[in-house]
Amino acid sequence: MPPIAPDAALLLDRITWGASPSSLRRLAELGEARWLAAQLRPSRPPAALPEEVAERIAAMTVSQRPLVELVPELERQRRAADALADDAAKTAARQAYQQALTRLAREAASRSLLLALHSPDALRERMTWFWTNHFSVFQGKANLRVMVGDYEDRAIRPHALGRFRELLGAATRHPAMLRYLDNERNAAGRLNENHARELLELHTLGVDGGYTQADVQELARVLTGVGVNFDGTAPRLRPALQAAYVRDGGFEFNPARHDFGDKRLLGRPIAGRGLAELDEVLDLLARHPSTATHVCRRLARFLVADEPDPALVAQLASVFTRSDGDIAVVLESLFAAPAFRASLGTKFKDPMHYVVSAVRLAYDDRPVVDATPMLGWIARLGQPPFGRQTPDGYPLDEAAWSGSGQMTARFEIARAIGSGTPALFRAETPGASPAMTPGAMAPPPAAMAPAPATAADRPPMPVLANVVWDRSTRDRIAPPTRRALEQARSPQEWNAFLLSSPEFMRR
């Protein structure tokens, strides 16, 4: 195997969902430049997943059935439950409806985790999480649990490394966003400003981006008539309005609810003419200097530092503007910046990153087919997928995730992962031996060797005292951590110490 660069594990921890023995080998074999180029511009169609993982994802309802089928079906189920006269039967039917929604949301979250663990297009999955968090929706509102999987997979993931304008349009028009921010209630004469405000404050310009309350109101007027329709029937419209009606999947533009008056947004006149106003405004917002600064500051906060250097943000914003919001080009500039390289190993892992990176390191390429334990861990740490109630998304800074309660929970999760979690692999044939990927884990020292398996259902126990991982990280392991590892009384304890170490908490 080619030599592993001293900071290879740190680079993988920052750019991907965590270093693993196999990802270190792939990086060494390709070289950093070729590896980064492949990550920034991944293949189409996406690179293949392990067979067991691909089969698990393909079997999910959210992967098999489109939103335009699922939403009406569940709505019929809800109405049928509400129509029941018997109270006990109504309660049971409503519970079944809620369980169906929860199952679909769990499938969406599981798919996200399985792709984070196993997709060769690791940067795309990292950026899919970032943008899903940037354009955050809360699954607990209304029936969004049926929509979040489609939202992530169709509105976010295809554009995660593309142009910001296309990503902005896809997120803005998706039924999940429209319902979450109440825009289906936004109509001429009855303005609802929720979506307009968050579109300016969170998604594009930023809170200090130079807009006013008048701009919020004008944007709300632009958004009138933009809503959600899954029932398959178009509204009755006057002949003069029929040509302006648009329906695309669950997205609907109803001209009877639109304010056709002229508007003025950020000093620019917007001629009242229907849905075309929204495209004009999204073009304006996507290319506004404040959007370049706000988005690039968020990217730098995610990938460099909690408080990024303003000079770096300005540099990235300039690239954003010159490239017309090409996300891959902006990231390429970010990765080439000296500040990025100097920051490796300093960013505190949020819960999602901590759990996924621990499982990746512990089990390498071993196919995880049931993400249920991971969902439980991440929820316990306060960051369940699609679980942020407010539209600002989960925080990206260390202060939000480094409290004493959080750390206690992480230590307990480290013990669980380090001791083996067979539920992650329960789709395998019962009694099968937990063989690791050949060559992925070098044997530990004799004193650390695990006891031979004697029970058919013994959990697969990761062996983290391996040559590949240690060789790539030994120079950054502090003496206190080394002493703790030397005092471990079993392989399980050694694993728990490593996954609980200050070094592993950072990326």
Write the pLDDT tens digit of every residue in 141-150.
999 999 999 9
348 secondary structure, DSSP code: B
CA-wise closest residue to 466 among 490, 486, 449: 449
Q: 226 has which bridge partners?
A: 253
Q: Scan for tokens 């901590």, then name that residue.
A: 354
pLDDT at 47: 78
CA-wise closest residue to 125 among 53, 60, 181: 53
> Which residue type is seen at 6?
P
Q: 418 or 446: which carries more pLDDT confidence?
A: 418
What pTM does this model have? 0.92
Give the C-alpha separation, 261 to 225, whole Å.
13
Give the C-alpha separation, 50 to 369, whole Å.
10
pLDDT at 421: 86
Q: Is the pLDDT of residue 356 over 90?
A: yes
Q: Is the pLDDT of residue 255 over 90?
A: yes
Per mean pLDDT, which range of 155-159, 236-240, 334-338, 469-473 is the poorest?
469-473
Q: Phi/psi at 226 (nearest 5 deg)?
A: -85, 120
Confidence of residue 258 (pLDDT cuts 50, 70, 90): very high
Residue-wise pLDDT for 452-467, tens only, equals 344 444 556 776 766 4
Q: Which helix (H) or strand (E) holds 247?
A: strand 246-248
Per mean pLDDT, which range of 168-172, 275-279, 390-394, 431-435 is the poorest?
431-435
| Mean pLDDT value of segment 2-20 | 88
pLDDT at 462: 75
Classify residue 428 as exposed, middle or buried by CB count within 10 Å of its CB (0-12, 13-18, 19+).
middle
Q: 433 or 502: which carries more pLDDT confidence?
A: 502
- Give the chain's mean pLDDT: 91
71 touches 232 (CB < 8 A): no
pLDDT at 469: 57
List all residues 6 or more positions away from 499 whose beta carbon is below 8 Å from its beta carbon: 358, 361, 362, 413, 414, 417, 418, 464
| Mean pLDDT value of segment 222-227 | 98
Q: Is the pLDDT of residue 160 over 60?
A: yes
pLDDT at 1: 57
Classify residue 423 as exposed, middle or buried by CB count within 10 Å of its CB (0-12, 13-18, 19+).
middle
Residue-wise pLDDT for 38-97, tens only, equals 999 998 777 789 999 999 999 999 999 999 999 999 999 999 999 999 999 999 999 999
Give the C-alpha separation, 64 to 402, whole Å.
39
Measured distance between the N- and C-terminal CA atoms of the chain, rounded to whole angstroms: 24
Q: How many CB atoms lie within 10 A of CB 345?
A: 16
| Mean pLDDT value of segment 253-263 | 98
221 touches 263 (CB < 8 A): yes
The SS3 assignment for 394 reads coil
Q: Is the pLDDT of residue 172 over 60?
A: yes
Q: 81 or 476: which carries more pLDDT confidence?
A: 81
| Mean pLDDT value of segment 470-497 | 84
Q: Is the pLDDT of residue 299 over 80?
A: yes
Q: Is the pLDDT of residue 360 over 60?
A: yes
CA-wise closest residue to 119 among 27, 23, 33, 41: 23
| Mean pLDDT value of segment 19-43 | 94
Region of 182 on the Ramachandran plot (φ > 0 left; ψ -120 to 50 alpha; else beta): left
